[in-house]
Amino acid sequence: MPDCYKYRGWGVLVKRIDSDSKGHVDSNLLPENNSDFQLFVHEQPENSYVSIVRVEMLDRILDGFHGLGLNVAGVSAGPFSIGILSSLLEPEGRCLVGNWALEFNNHEIIEVKTLPEEEISNYDFEGECISSLLIGAYSLAVKYASGILGSEAVNENLNTGFAYRRLSFITVAFVFVLLFLSLFVNFLLFDKYSKDYELVTSDYLRSETLITELRSSEEELLKRKQIITRAGLEGNSQFAWYADRIASLMPSKIVLSRLAFQPAERRMQPGREVIFTRSSSILEGETTDILKVHEWIGYLKKEPWIVDVEIVSYNRAEDVKTGTFSLEIVFDER
């Protein structure tokens, strides 16, 4: 005789399922993902019952036996392994199997209830007294002795129904995932093109603004070039030499703040022609010793290209040592 083991605990779901006119059981109440569950079916002419248990839990139990080097000849879940002994039990009445109470009518199970508290009943099989807690394991031993090996078969119709429903579920899920991915990719592309469009538009507006400013600057530059041409300031190398000579003759204690060649006679105003004072320059600065300015004027008058030097103004407050001055130099452009 084989060794029989009984595991007590939670995790087995018992359901009643109806049979159609062809004797096929209805699978509408069973879980849709059949690959995650193992089904143990107890078929009857009128109503069938099924025990549902997670494959993960069964695998843990079987791995424990394999780890001990034991071969598992049969597995059953729920109370329906007692089916092989139903002909030996009372044809009608209540029968306890583990934590379940089974109602029999004409040797067929008509109702299954889970006991809120454990009850124990004893059964006599030709002098053998078997407890209701062990009758399920005893039924498997009888099954093994009768030559029925292996686990209870899963009904082919149930498998087919589960396969079709699972295929439908996978198809619908695939369509939804594909639709979601399409929408997501479309959103990413739209967002990218929208940002690119905004960037190009911004660059275009910025370039257009720069072009407008460039044209305005070109017009302003042309106007200033015309003013310089009319003022005779194109010979800037000559004026640079004049400025260098004036600075080299400037004594200490004089700080030059302005040097203008051929200055405008009056302030420039829109719509009025600018008139420049030719052969003339204006010097403005500060000094703490007015005598240094007179000394500088003496040096400048000795230059052959200078015609005359005149003090235009000199101002100094009583309580301030530094005074401001303005000189006008008339030079010969020849």
Which pLDDT score, from 0 to 100, does residue 9 have?
A: 60
Which pLDDT score, from 0 to 100, does residue 238 have?
A: 77
Which pLDDT score, from 0 to 100, does residue 131 have?
A: 74
Whether 11 contacts 53, CB under 8 Å? yes
Tell me the fold of 236-331: Gyrase A; domain 2 (3.30.1360)
Which pLDDT score, from 0 to 100, does residue 229 have?
A: 60
Rounded to an integer, what distance in angstroms lies between the CA atom of residue 71 and that of residue 78?
A: 21
Percent of the chain topping pLDDT 70: 71
Rounded to an integer, what distance in angstroms lies between the CA atom of residue 223 and that of residue 266?
A: 18
287-296: average pLDDT: 90
Which of the residue ranges 19-23, 126-130, 194-198 would you say has the lowest mean pLDDT? 19-23
Which pLDDT score, from 0 to 100, does residue 15 have?
A: 75
Which of the residue ranges 42-46, 209-213, 311-315 would you say has the lowest mean pLDDT? 42-46
Which pLDDT score, from 0 to 100, does residue 155 have?
A: 37
Rounded to an integer, what distance in angstroms lies between the CA atom of residue 129 and that of residue 152?
A: 26
103-131: average pLDDT: 74
Domain positions in the chain are: 12-154, 236-331
Higher pLDDT, 85 or 217: 217
43-61: average pLDDT: 76
163-179: average pLDDT: 80
Whether 162 contacts 34, CB under 8 Å? yes
* Top-confidence range, 24-33, 214-223, 271-280, 294-303: 294-303
230-241: average pLDDT: 64
199-215: average pLDDT: 90
Q: Which residues contact 101 (CB under 8 A, 6 or more apart)?
A: 94, 95, 112, 113, 114, 115, 119
Whether 123 contacts 31, CB under 8 Å? no
Which pLDDT score, from 0 to 100, does residue 168 have?
A: 80
Higher pLDDT, 122 or 268: 122
Rounded to an integer, what distance in angstroms lies between the CA atom of residue 197 and that of residue 171?
A: 38
Q: How many residues does the chain have?
A: 334
Which pLDDT score, from 0 to 100, does residue 153 have?
A: 39
- Average pLDDT over the chain reads 76
Which pLDDT score, from 0 to 100, does residue 6 have?
A: 62
Banded pLDDT at 164 (limits 50, 70, 90): low
